[in-house]
Amino acid sequence: MALTGSDVKARFADQGSDGLASSPEICSCFLGSEVDQGARVIRAKGITADG
């Protein structure tokens, strides 16, 4: 898999991150929870698209 190559891992590490191999289902669940968390913050702060 391309994301497990040592050069890719090094680039992630240089940016202060690391890769995690998982399934599409786990990735979808994680991204969904991140979107939900962001939405709660946006609603709580009353942030709108028009500023």
Q: 18 vs 42, which has greater pLDDT?
A: 42
Asked whether residue 12 is assigned to any structural domain, the reply reads no
Specify if 25 maps to a domain.
Answer: yes
Comparing C-alpha atoms, which of 22, 18, 1 is closest to residue 10? Answer: 18
Asked whether 8 and 19 are in contact (CB, 8 A), the reply is yes
Q: Write out the residue range of the structural domain in which residue 36 sits.
A: 21-51
Residue 32, in any domain of the structure: yes
- Confirm whether 15 is domain-assigned: no
Please write the tens of the pLDDT for every residue from 5-39.
888 888 888 999 877 778 999 999 999 999 999 99
Distance CA 9, CA 1 (A): 12
Give me the number of domains the chain comprises: 1
Torsion of CA 20, 31, 16, 23, to 10 degrees: 10
pLDDT at 45 over 90: yes
Position 44 scores a pLDDT of: 97
The answer to whether position 47 is within a domain reads yes
